[in-house]
Amino acid sequence: MCGICQSTIVSAPGEGSGAAGGAADGPAAPRVRSGPMPAGTGERGRRLLIRGGHVLSLDPDVGDFAVGDVLVNGSRIEAVAPMLDAGDAEILDAAGMIVMPGFVDTHHHQFETALRGFLADGILINDGHPHSAINYYEHVLQKFSLVYRPSDVHINELYGSLAQLDAGVTTVMDVSQIHHSPEHSDAAVQALRDAGRRAVLGYFEGWGDRTKYPDDARRLRSEAFASDDQLLTMAMGGEIYLPGYERAWEIGRELALPIALHVVGTFGMAPIFDELARAGRFGPDNIFIHMTGMSDLGWKAAADAGAHVSLSVPIEMVMRHGMPPIQKALDVGLQPSLSSDVECTMTADPFTQMRAALTLQRAFVNEAALGGGENLPDLLTARDVIRMATLEGARGLKLDHKVGSLTPGKEADIVLLDATAINVAPLNHVPGAVVTLMERSNVDTVMVAGRIRKWRGTLLDVDLDRLRGELEASRDYLFEAAGIDRDLFRA
């Protein structure tokens, strides 16, 4: 008998066993949720019982429950079970809600929030084809990014982070290629702190006479990231297409930081990547973003080193990075994470990323099956891509000891998704509903380290009207300073 359970837990862990495999008891229609927002969430000693939800734990040792409870004590998960007696804990009625870990985005350029949608029809680089005149490298990196002020960095980072929090993304690696000065770096750190969610600052390059990249990593590490017991951590950007990347890798490893980099064949990176592979330079601290167009040698070296791969499937398909190598990653034994990349081209919500990964991999395998292929790979399932969007992301960012699953002892980064909404009801399959039916409007409640940050559809403690005005002012400045016309109907 579990000491805090009302009844013995008899179900074996894992999908399809015990409570996880059956239909919910009780009336067909979920209870109407009532009561005020719980107070003091996330504070030491405050206990909150999330009661009666459809619990998708992503931890096979915990299992899933058609109807279950999650007990949060301060910032951490204390227990997960079909029924918990938590004494005087405050109750959060989760009837009709899917209760699961917060999503993890392993690669998002949040400084570009003011440029949303600008490159909807663009591609990555100008490769000489007629439809590449509007491209990311020339417009965003070589024009817009060069004119950012620290104030632009702050509002873009903050607004983009809050928007993802609203979508249930509780953890991000912010790839901020905007470190033109220490003040720009400090603005990025402050914005991530102000957003109140878990974030990894990806300290990537900057441009101009005042950039201190990569050496300023030491100052940032000591001033802002000296403790690992906080919401903010740090990764080192080490782009191999830039001169001097070896220095960035050296400093990153000196500071024991993950080393993240874009790996894209269209940038001519494959030969350099192969050289590093042959030299044994890869390690479990590497995060390789995209991995399009790489050789078998490079893939094998990445897998043998225990490196992590972050895929941005919609962006890779739309912007001509190369075909997303999701099957290649699986074939060499790497479980990728999912990431949103750039909102100048595609939304940063996790549901888009999961659906794209699922449909692309299944399209490949299904086409091979229809062509008479044999020994085909397994089809990805909805649960597979949810795991990529949660636990695998946490593993890639070296945060799986803290987040990524509903595991007792981990920090309480939890989302409640409304399964009673018109686009989901009636609920028949929890992972399937999350991946194939849901979107941002289904994100009802979001917790970060036990603290409620979104409650019943509304972000808390933010003045969105004021922030939107600041973002629009930043947009207007950026377009003018970069010398780019803003036409609402034509790129």
DSSP 86-116: -TTPEEEE-TTEEEEEPEEEEEE-GGGGGGT
24 with 102: CB under 8 angstroms?
A: no
**Mean pLDDT across the chain:** 93
Is there a domain that residue 49 lies in? yes
Is there a domain that residue 351 lies in? yes
Q: In this structure, are 115 and 128 located in the same domain?
A: yes
Is there a domain that residue 7 lies in? no
Which value, to the nearest 10 degrees, does the dihedral of the CA atoms of residues 358, 363, 366, 367 take? Answer: -170
Whether pLDDT at 159 is above 80: yes
Is there a domain that residue 464 lies in? no
Whether pLDDT at 286 is above 80: yes
Encode pLDDT of 53-80 as tens digits: 999 999 999 999 999 999 999 999 999 9
How many other C-beta atoms can be found within 10 angstroms of the C-beta atom of residue 299? 23
Please give the pLDDT value at position 10.
Answer: 27
Whether pLDDT at 30 is above 90: no
- Across the range 24-30, mean pLDDT stands at 42
Q: In this structure, are 72 and 171 located in the same domain?
A: no
Residues whose CB falls within 8 Å of the CB of residue 372, separated by 6 or more in sequence, listed in order: none
Q: In this structure, are 414 and 279 located in the same domain?
A: no
Q: CA separation (Å) from 304 to 206, 263, 277, 300?
A: 32, 17, 10, 6
Is there a domain that residue 476 lies in? no
Q: In this structure, are 61 and 186 located in the same domain?
A: no
Task: Work out the percent of the chain whose per-residue pLDDT is above 70.
Answer: 93
Q: In this structure, are 112 and 130 located in the same domain?
A: yes
Encode pLDDT of 74-88 as tens digits: 999 999 999 999 898
Please give the pLDDT value at position 2.
Answer: 41
Which CATH number covers residue 150?
Answer: 3.20.20.140
Residues whose CB falls within 8 Å of the CB of residue 296, separated by 6 or more in sequence, listed in order: none
For 424, the domain range is 18-101+406-459
Encode pLDDT of 96-152 as tens digits: 999 999 999 999 999 999 999 999 999 999 988 888 888 999 999 999 999 999 999
Domain end among 346, 361, 396: 396
Is there a domain that residue 160 lies in? yes
Query: Could you tell me the sign of the dihedral formed by the alpha carbons of 250, 248, 316, 440, in that order?
Result: positive
Would you call 69 helix, strand, or coil by DSSP? strand
Q: In this structure, are 293 and 352 located in the same domain?
A: yes
What does the H/E/C string look like for 190-214? HHHHHHCCEEEEEECCCCCCCCCCC
Which CATH number covers residue 83?
Answer: 2.30.40.10
Please give the pLDDT value at position 268.
Answer: 85
Is there a domain that residue 6 lies in? no
Is there a domain that residue 433 lies in? yes
Q: In this structure, are 443 and 309 located in the same domain?
A: no
What total of structural domains would you count in the chain? 2
Whether pLDDT at 245 is above 60: yes
Domain end among 396, 424, 442: 396
Whether pLDDT at 25 is above 70: no
Q: Which two tokens stand for residue 74?
A: 């301060």
Please give the pLDDT value at position 228.
Answer: 86
Integer distance in angstroms from the first to the last C-alpha of the chain?
64
